[in-house]
Amino acid sequence: MQLLNAAVASRPDTLALVELGGEQVTYVQLWHRALASLYRTGAYMFDGKMLIWEYPRQTPDGDQLDLVEVIELDGPLIAYHRIYWGWRGVEHVITNAVDKAVR
């Protein structure tokens, strides 16, 4: 699994273990922990097949990473899951990539 690319190709990749501060967690657990700390308004759009919501840059407590999450469903299953980063999110990703490259 390539975490730098953040592309998860298969279910085994999704369940692959990642080291996080000495604790082993799955990629999905890692992603949910990151999103759990982000604010969202509770507004969403759903047309029966596609679910979309936003994590806005401006929040009641100040700025945060801005992103949009899109989930396409195939019946009860997730067919596609995409994250679209805003300017603040892109800045964060670039900074983390540079930090890792110079280590």
Domain ranges of the chain: 1-37, 39-103
Q: Which pLDDT value is given to residue 45? A: 94
The model scores a pTM over 0.95 = no
Q: What is the mean pLDDT of residues 58-62?
A: 89
Looking at residue 65, what is its pLDDT?
Answer: 82
Q: How confident is the model at residue 100 (pLDDT cuts 50, 70, 90)?
A: confident
More confident residue, 102 or 57: 57
Phi, psi of 76 (to 5 degrees): -85, 0
For 20-50, give the DSSP string. Answer: ETTEEEEHHHHHHHHHHTS---S-EEE-SSE
The answer to whether 88 and 66 have CB atoms below 8 angstroms apart is yes
In the numeric block, which tokens belong to residue 39?
A: 């604010």
Instruction: Please state, in angstroms and rounded to a whole number, the distance separating the CA atoms of residues 75 and 70.
Output: 16
Per the DSSP assignment, residues forming a β-bridge with 17 are 26
Which pLDDT score is estimated for 102?
80
What's the one-letter identity of residue 48? G
pLDDT in tens, 5-38: 445 555 555 545 555 455 666 656 666 666 667 8
